Amino acid sequence: MQSFLAVRRGLGLLGYVLPIALIFYGLFVPQWALASISAYFYSPMRELFVGTLCAQAVFLWNYEGYRPNAGEFLSDKAVSRIASFGALVVAFAPLQPGIKTAPPAGEALAPPFEPTFLQTIISPVYVEMMHGAGAALFFGALAVYCLVNFVRGDDSRPTKKAENRIYRCCGWIIVGCMAGYAALKLSGFEETATRMRAVFWLECIACAAFATSWAVKGEALRPLVRSMVAKSD
């Protein structure tokens, strides 16, 4: 049980660390923030971006969770491994440099980087498509955890009811952020979204929601749960 709690807390911490670190870094550079979290692959924060995703992938891959009941298709192990695979794809199949990552006119460009191995053997367009699919798997699986896996079990206890409200809230926030990203892609306002860093903020919110759900599951946010219980009394 202690190992489960440690993994959950670790995932919660990592979910908070990456967006906070990128926002803090942005306070000291001319362009302040890039178009998306993934755009930091082509910045001095590349190692933090890739390293955090790899650490999340390791935690998720090794998370067994609870044994599935008969007939349960979305087991903890299956969903966590889908999320783990998605995180690795996002880390090692980057966006194309100079397109999605370019800052608005008049601002400094990110430092140039050599193409990755994957970009040398596969068309960068296909690599970018892999990146998008990996992000959808990662956030989609985390939303499933919040809306399906975490809310299973006896919810007769006041604390469990409060936790479930938090999980569902986090899950729908992640779904909303994914829907917002899809809407931006289909709306034709991608240039405006890039200028406003809309995707970056949607990703930061989704990361915070996923981090909060895992921190609650790891019993690291007991004051938040207790406050929810108190409000419902």
Residue ranges covered by each domain of the chain: 2-232
What is the model's pLDDT at position 31?
65
In terms of Cα–Cα distance, which of 52, 58, 55, 56 is closest to 20? 52
CA R_g for the chain: 18
The rounded distance, in Å, linking the Cα atoms of 88 and 193 is: 26
Q: Mean of the pLDDT values across residues 125-138? A: 92
Section 34-57 average pLDDT: 91
What confidence score (pLDDT) does residue 153 get? 81
Q: What is the pTM of this model?
A: 0.87
CA distance 167 to 148: 9
Chain centroid, CA 217 distance in Å: 16
Class of residue 192 by CB neighbours under 10 A (exposed 0-12, middle 13-18, buried 19+)? exposed
Return the pLDDT at 179: 95
Q: What is the pLDDT of residues 154-208, one digit of tens each?
A: 778 889 999 999 999 999 999 999 999 888 888 776 666 666 788 899 999 999 9
Contacts 24+ apart (CB under 8 A), 3-9: 4/63, 4/64, 4/65, 4/218, 5/218, 5/219, 6/218, 7/59, 7/62, 7/63, 7/218, 8/63, 8/214, 8/215, 8/217, 8/218, 8/219, 8/220, 9/214, 9/215, 9/218, 9/219, 9/220
% of residues, the chain, pLDDT over 70 = 85
Tens-place pLDDT, residues 58-95? 999 988 877 777 666 778 889 999 999 999 999 999 88
Check residue 164 and give its pLDDT: 94
pLDDT for res 65: 77
Cα angle for residues 206, 122, 125 (degrees, 5° grid) = 50
User: Token pair of 131, please?
Assistant: 């990146």
If you average pLDDT over residues 28-40, what whole number do you get?
A: 80
Cα–Cα dist 213/216, whole Å: 5
